[in-house]
């Protein structure tokens, strides 16, 4: 980290007499006292637990300095920067650090696929540049400035994931990060409970342009009619992606369980990504478009996509000890995303039967029941042999499937019956079967995945 104590004090406009301490180089920044290393700057955040109460732990680990906004006195001998709000101070420091280090910033948002797209984009740009990306799901008002302040000194391209639950959240993140390139993966139904409609979600995702450089690039899906009208007054270059009528358009050549190959319009290069699904081809088209914007060769883009590493729990293929193939996609879910992955799963070749385990999709608001029921259109007994549903919201899908599936091939469990669900899966799954698990993260299906791996 190229930042000194005095420099940080000036950047955040600390209100105390910080020059009473000699200046020194900060080695990093942390808000979790357990992660503190020598000469780090500690940011005690106020949440369920007040971070100020962990200052002694930070001191024991060799912290160099701390931000401070508590009414109680700061430790006397520890270099301290007094501020009114430690989170805002960290955000202000991130803004300063971006201006100092001057990386090119790429911002990615969307109802689904933003983490995969971030991973693909980083892998592509890493073929030519020093890159750094959002780690895990650090994509909010805490995680984004934290990511900025953790980027390596040599970073040339910084890929930031931007998440949201409510309107105006991405607006804030975009103005903080000031991206040069921005991309929206898709508009689904996630958080529709807070935003009212898909149109409301589209408008919230378009907030990513709030801080976008006027000479920059915005990438959007060609098949989303809610977005294009919102781009008409924008000064930035607009590029669409998709499988039909798009600026960056793909033709799928081969789709298998563990890879998908495709070509793009105007090129004979065969691109391959180590994941399944048309929706992931869309994510790859964003990474290709970004690579093209920064003038990477097709060969470098091809290599980056072929080798990219997927963040855990995003459409991850696993195998049990007896050979059951498990498609784990349990980090998040909305109807659009669930339908897309079911369509791909339905076509995957298998020597056994296909089984779908679907849990509640959360935060869908008053239309949740109808949205869950609508997934029935993507479940066919000729393609998915058995369906296991989990959670109170999935009752609506269960009811809609009773006319399509024989009772013995349709199972329903309440959220309190996770153990019974797992036991049923152990009974019905056999070697060479293929099973998909898809739900919102709050349903905890990752625990079921762990149990299935032991079969």
Binding-site residue numbers for ATP are 110-116
> 169-177 and 86-101 helices cross at what angle (nearest 10)?
40
Taking the CA atoms of 332, 338, 343 and 347 in sequence, report the sign of the dihedral they define.
positive
Side-chain-side CA neighbours of residue 299 (13 Å) = 0
> Long-range CB contacts (< 8 A, 24+ apart) of 145-150?
145/90, 145/91, 145/93, 145/94, 145/95, 145/176, 146/29, 146/31, 146/90, 146/94, 148/94, 148/97, 148/98, 148/177, 149/1, 149/28, 149/29, 149/90, 149/93, 149/94, 149/97, 150/28, 150/29
Quickly list H helices, 274-334.
278-293, 298-307
* Contacts with 48 (C-beta within 8 Å, 6 or more apart), sequence order: none
310 within 8 A of 275, measured Cβ to Cβ: yes
* Contacts with 37 (C-beta within 8 Å, 6 or more apart), sequence order: 27, 28, 30, 61, 62
Q: In whole angstroms, what is the distance from residue 137 CA to residue 82 CA?
A: 29
Which has the closest alpha carbon to 127: 272, 258, 287?
A: 287
Pairing of strands 65-68, 40-42: parallel
CA angle 137, 142, 148 (to 5 degrees): 80
> Which residue's entry shows tokens 């929206």?
184
Which residues are documented as binding site?
110-116
- Residue environment code for 383-394, b if the CB has 16+ CB neighbours within 10 A, otherwise e: ebbbbbbbbebb
Q: In whole angstroms, what is the distance from residue 339 CA to residue 404 CA?
A: 17
Q: In whole angstroms, what is the distance from residue 266 CA to residue 371 CA?
A: 38
- CA dihedral of residues 356, 287, 183, 278 (deg, nearest 10): -30
The three-state secondary structure class of 311 is coil
> Which residue's entry shows tokens 């991973």?
119
**Token digits for 435?**
């099973």
* Contacts with 194 (C-beta within 8 Å, 6 or more apart), sequence order: 165, 166, 167, 363, 365
């Amino acid at each position: 980290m190229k930042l000194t104590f005095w420099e940080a004090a000036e950047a955040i406009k600390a209100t105390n007499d910080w020059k009473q301490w000699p200046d020194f180089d900060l080695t990093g920044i942390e808000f979790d006292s357990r992660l503190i290393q020598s000469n780090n700057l500690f940011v005690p955040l106020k949440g369920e637990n007040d971070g100020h109460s962990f200052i002694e732990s930070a001191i024991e680990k060799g912290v160099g300095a701390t931000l401070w906004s508590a009414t109680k006195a700061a430790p006397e001998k520890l270099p301290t920067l007094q501020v009114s709000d430690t989170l805002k101070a960290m955000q202000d420091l991130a803004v300063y650090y971006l201006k100092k280090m001057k990386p090119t910033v790429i911002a990615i948002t969307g109802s689904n696929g933003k983490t995969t797209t971030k991973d693909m984009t980083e892998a592509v740009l890493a073929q030519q540049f020093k890159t750094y990306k959002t780690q895990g799901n650090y994509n909010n008002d805490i995680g984004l400035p934290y990511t900025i302040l953790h980027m390596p000194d040599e970073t040339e391209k910084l890929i930031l994931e931007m998440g949201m639950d409510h309107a105006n959240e991405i607006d804030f993140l975009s103005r903080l990060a000031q991206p040069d390139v921005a991309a929206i993966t898709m508009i689904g139904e996630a958080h529709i409970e807070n935003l009212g409609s898909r149109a409301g979600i589209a408008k919230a995702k378009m907030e990513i342009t709030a801080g976008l450089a006027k000479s920059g690039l915005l990438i959007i899906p060609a098949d989303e009619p809610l977005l294009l009208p919102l781009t008409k007054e924008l000064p930035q270059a607009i590029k669409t992606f998709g499988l039909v009528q798009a600026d960056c358009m793909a033709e799928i050549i081969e789709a298998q369980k563990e890879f998908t190959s495709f070509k793009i319009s105007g090129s004979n290069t065969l691109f391959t990504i180590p994941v399944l699904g048309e929706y992931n081809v869309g994510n790859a088209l964003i990474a290709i478009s970004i690579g093209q914007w920064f003038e990477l060769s097709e060969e470098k883009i091809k290599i980056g996509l072929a080798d990219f590493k997927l963040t855990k729990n995003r459409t991850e293929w696993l195998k049990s000890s007896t050979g059951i193939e498990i498609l784990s996609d349990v980090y998040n879910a909305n109807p659009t995303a669930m339908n897309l992955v079911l369509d791909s799963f339905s076509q995957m070749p298998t020597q056994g039967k296909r089984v779908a385990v679907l849990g509640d999709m959360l935060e869908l608001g008053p239309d949740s029941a109808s949205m869950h029921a609508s997934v029935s259109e993507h479940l066919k007994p000729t393609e998915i042999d058995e369906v296991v549903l989990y959670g109170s919201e999935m009752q609506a899908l269960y009811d809609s499937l009773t006319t399509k599936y024989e009772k013995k091939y349709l199972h329903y469990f309440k959220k309190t019956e996770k153990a019974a669900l797992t036991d049923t899966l152990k009974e019905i799954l056999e070697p060479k079967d293929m099973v998909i698990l898809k739900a919102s993260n709050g349903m905890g299906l990752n625990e079921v995945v762990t149990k299935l791996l032991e079969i």
